[in-house]
Amino acid sequence: MSTRYPNRRSALFALGALPLLASCSGSETERTAGNPRYATIDQSGAIAHGPVAGRLPRTPTIDEIRQRGYLRQSGSLTNPGFALENVKTGAVTGFDAGIAQLLAKYLLGKPEVDTVTGGSDTREAMLGNHSVDVAIGTYTIKENRARLVNFAGPYYVAHSGVLVAADNRDIRRLSDLDGRRVAVQPGAAEESLRKEVPHAIPVLFEQSSQNASAVRQGRVVAWSANTALLLGKSVIDKELRMTDIAFGSSPFGIGTPKDDPAFKSVVVEFLHRIMADGTWRKLWECTVGVLTPGPVPHPPRVGSVPGS
Amino acid sequence: MFGSYGEDLLAGFGETVLVTVTAFPIAFVIGIVLAVFRISPVRPLRIAGRLYVDVVRNSPLLLIVVLLIFGLPDAGLLLPLFWCFVLGLGGYFGAYVCETVCSGIRIVDRGQIEAARAIGLPFRRVLTDVLLPQALRAMVQPLGTILINTALGSALGAAVGISELTLETRSFNLDTAQPVLAFLTAACGYLAINLLVSLGVRLLERKARVLR
Amino acid sequence: MTTTDTQPLVRLNGVGKSFGETKVLDGIDLDIAPGEVVVVIGPSGSGKSTLCRCINRLEPIDEGTIEFDGKTLPEEGNALAELRADIGMVFQSFNLFAHKTVRENVTLGPIRVRRRSKQDANRRAGELLARVGVVEHADKPPARLSGGQQQRAAIARALAMDPRVLLFDEPTSALDPEMVHEVLDVITGLAAEGRTMVVVTHEMGFARRVADRVVFMADGRIAESGNPADFFAHPKTERARDFLSRVLEHTETRPAS
């Protein structure tokens, strides 16, 4: 797998390097590469299995991607299980990263992806002015966003879970979070928490490791995020415990430029292809499946949510 | 136009102001103390002051803030998020205040310091009666700039759980997908703070000139 | 030299000081008796200004000792600050505190160091400023005063501490010629009161008129010293003769013979 990394993420990169200093748990890169669970994530098998489109229609976005020779997307590099950069090797692993690579392979024949980590604030703007071709990365399909971008998907439906300190027995139901401080990452998890638990007090930290530290140190009573991420954390960190609480559903979609509907159709077709030929299932198994026990779910039905 | 978010955005603006007006006095005190260290006759103090300024000025603000938020609890001290952040901002901009104070001190005529020593003022009094009052006057403008930078730097709070203007703006945008409106509103908030500071600086400078 | 029956107020013993390689003071022995007016003259770079600044330890010394009233000057610190309060100093460039009024310049030391009440300090400042003739400028910032007025205010500032010795470091060198005499008049008046003074100056007429003793310095040493009449009439050393012939040629205040 080859991936391109321009220097556009210095701010986030600085954030990513910090919790190493802060959490002080010994090994130099426990958070990412040295972490056994996350380290085993490797979706290259699924990518190899991925389809390549036959004849593609000409759309402005596809023309640009072809001319450039790689796919440029807005996404994250610090989201374990979905898109996490290995600082040592530069490889990006996870389900969302895999979808992006599969899309690049589908369009170009090679899984070359350039990730711009603008965060959740800039996705619509970057799609709107064609700074990126697509936005892939825990991008929840919503109707008011669909005014600005075309969503292809959902390709994954995430549910929020709640993680607490191992010795915490107070948090049993969702309502136990009312009036309590709950750590959450900006974006899909934050939206979900604000919507489903409006009386909780969200405390936003950019990094998953910061959220974990905040729980361990007692700064917050819980951390809410998608279940895959939390399960992964709770397995490797004995000080943290996953509760049975689950809430919300965040249908993740691929954002595409509003003014290129033909391109969206191509991406929708792509999703149908990988869901039908078993690639989606393979990708799930070697990414989220590594972190989550249980059987492989059925892929969501594309176009099944408002806004898609 | 903002729906139910108007209140949140206003609260975020209030938090930004609160962070700024709390962090800046901390930066000011730290800066003055460091500057006194750096001109003191005691060599270890001079070295300590120098070291602090060099280390802090060459570290990203975010690193300092994150160290305070996530590092201090590991050392057994769990301060509220607000205070961690405010201390981080204050400690960081304190280094810049120190540099400003030092250059302010450098422009005070050496002869006046000698005169102050010659009438028997002890070191402390030379500082408080002769050196600092004059140095501070030369520092009004650069200190105003540091105050503005503190306000802008408080936007980093959005990354570490402080519900200030930038974070509320992001949440607003996240829900309504109106990036232009959202960030224009935030920009206006910061602009308002900066204009207010500039105005204050101009008034202070005028007052200082009258005293001359 | 002074007689042995009175203890000197200031005693310099083998004082030496270098700036890097250059020895600016070299084996200076000097006793100053109470009430004595010592005028230090010499070519520029002879070390006379440094000598003056060493007496209240604004310049630290490398060798020898300086005693004030029988006690060796302490190291930098509060004890030295206390001692400095007893040694008044007037600088070449006045060095008034620019952010304070003339009156505040005069009262700062008495209030902070002598712990006088503000009223006392203000009243005394008024008297002193009247005495040096700038009382009508008392509430102005120093920058509004002429050089001569500023220097007279600086003298009032030194006097306000009731010093036991007054040091003048070239007090008229930075002044326009027409202002020199107004400052020298004030200093002359002080000398007539019997104050102990050390005056570094280029004003030969003043030296001749006011000094109890003239000290002539060259190359960091005291080349010659004695009463002014003898010194100006019959300088003993070649250096002094040379210096005087050059200085007096261009001085309006030629010594009357």
Mean pLDDT of A159-175: 90
Instruction: Count Cβ atoms below 10 Å from residue B183 Cβ, excluding itself.
Output: 18
Portion of chain A with pLDDT greater than 90, in percent: 32
Mind listing the pLDDT tens digit for each residue in B147-157? 999 999 999 98
Mind listing the pLDDT tens digit for each residue in C18-45? 988 889 999 999 999 999 999 999 998 8
Q: Where are the domains of chain A?
A: 2-156+253-291, 157-249
Domain A157-249, CATH class in plain words: alpha beta
d(CA B107, CA B132): 11
d(CA A190, CA C77): 60
Mean pLDDT of A98-119: 89
Q: What pLDDT was estimated at residue C5?
A: 55
Mean pLDDT of chain C: 90
For chain C, how big is the Rg over CA atoms in Å? 18
Q: How many CA atoms are closer than 13 Å to the CA of B208, on its beta-carbon side?
A: 16
What one-letter code names the amino acid at B11? Answer: A
DSSP code of C157?
H
Judge contact between A14 and B60, C-beta under 8 A.
yes
Query: Whose structure tokens read 């007052």?
Result: B207
Judge contact between C91 and B132, C-beta under 8 A.
no
Beta bridge partners of C32: C10
Query: Whose structure tokens read 């270890």?
Result: B44
Q: What pLDDT was estimated at residue A28?
A: 33
Q: Do chains C and B touch (3 or more CB pairs under 8 A)?
A: yes
d(CA B1, CA B96): 40
pTM for the whole thing? 0.69
Q: What pLDDT was estimated at residue B175?
A: 78
Peptide bond into A300 cis (omega under 30): no
Query: Whose structure tokens read 């300024």?
Result: B53
Mind listing the pLDDT tens digit for each residue in A239-295? 899 898 888 888 999 999 999 999 999 999 999 999 999 899 999 988 888 877 778
Which has the closest alpha carbon to B70: A211, C120, C53? A211
Q: Which residues of A257-267 are buried (b: 16+ CB within 10 A; e: fewer)?
A: beebeebbebb
Token pair of B200, please? 């204050």
Q: Per-residue confidence at B171, pLDDT binned at 50, 70, 90?
A: confident
Q: What pLDDT was estimated at residue A82?
A: 84
Mean pLDDT of B120-129: 89
Mind listing the pLDDT tens digit for each residue in B40-59? 888 899 999 999 999 999 99
Mind listing the pLDDT tens digit for each residue in A209-235? 889 999 998 899 999 998 877 877 787
Q: Per-residue confidence at B209, pLDDT binned at 50, 70, 90?
A: low
| CA B64 from centroid of its chain's CA atoms | 14
| Contacting B residues, span 40-99, partner chain A, CB-CB under 8 Å | 60, 62-63, 66-67, 69-71, 73-74, 78, 81
d(CA C132, CA B92): 51
Residues in chain B within 8 Å Cβ distance of A23:
70, 74
- Starting from the edge strand earliest in sequence, which strands make up the sheet with C71-72, in order? C22-32, C10-19, C63-68, C71-72
If interface means Cβ-Cβ distance under 8 Å, which residues of chain A face chain B? 11, 14-15, 18-19, 21-24, 120-122, 124-125, 142, 144-145, 147-148, 183, 186-187, 190-191, 194, 203-206, 210, 213-214, 217-219
DSSP code of A173?
S
Q: Per-residue confidence at A25, pLDDT binned at 50, 70, 90?
A: very low
Residues in chain A within 8 Å Cβ distance of B81:
203, 219
Whether A24 has a pLDDT exceeding 50, the answer reads no
Q: Evaluate whether A2-156+253-291 and A157-249 have a shared fold.
A: yes
Measure CB to CB from residue A186 to each of B74, B81, B170 and give the nearest one: B170
* Chain B residue with minimum CA distance to A139: B174
User: Which domains, and CATH codes, for chain B?
Assistant: 3-208 (1.10.3720.10)
d(CA B192, CA C22): 59
Portion of chain B with pLDDT greater than 70, in percent: 96
Q: What pLDDT was estimated at residue A36?
A: 56
Q: What pLDDT was estimated at residue A188?
A: 80
Mind listing the pLDDT tens digit for each residue in A39-69? 678 888 888 888 888 888 899 999 999 999 9
Beta bridge partners of C87: C165
d(CA A52, CA C218): 97
**What is the torsional sign of CA C247, C251, C256, C257?**
positive
d(CA B119, CA C113): 8
Beta-strand relationship, A92-93 and A83-85 = antiparallel
d(CA C165, CA B34): 37
Q: Which residue has the higher pLDDT, A162 or B73?
A: A162
d(CA A173, CA A250): 20
Residues in chain C within 8 Å Cβ distance of B121:
81, 108-109, 112-113
Mind listing the pLDDT tens digit for each residue in C161-220? 999 999 999 999 999 999 999 999 999 999 999 999 999 999 999 999 999 999 999 999
Residues 6+ apart with CB under 8 A from C81: B117, B120, B121, B122, B123, C113
Q: Per CATH, is A2-156+253-291 categorized as 3.40.50.720?
A: no
Q: Per-residue confidence at B95, pLDDT binned at 50, 70, 90?
A: very high
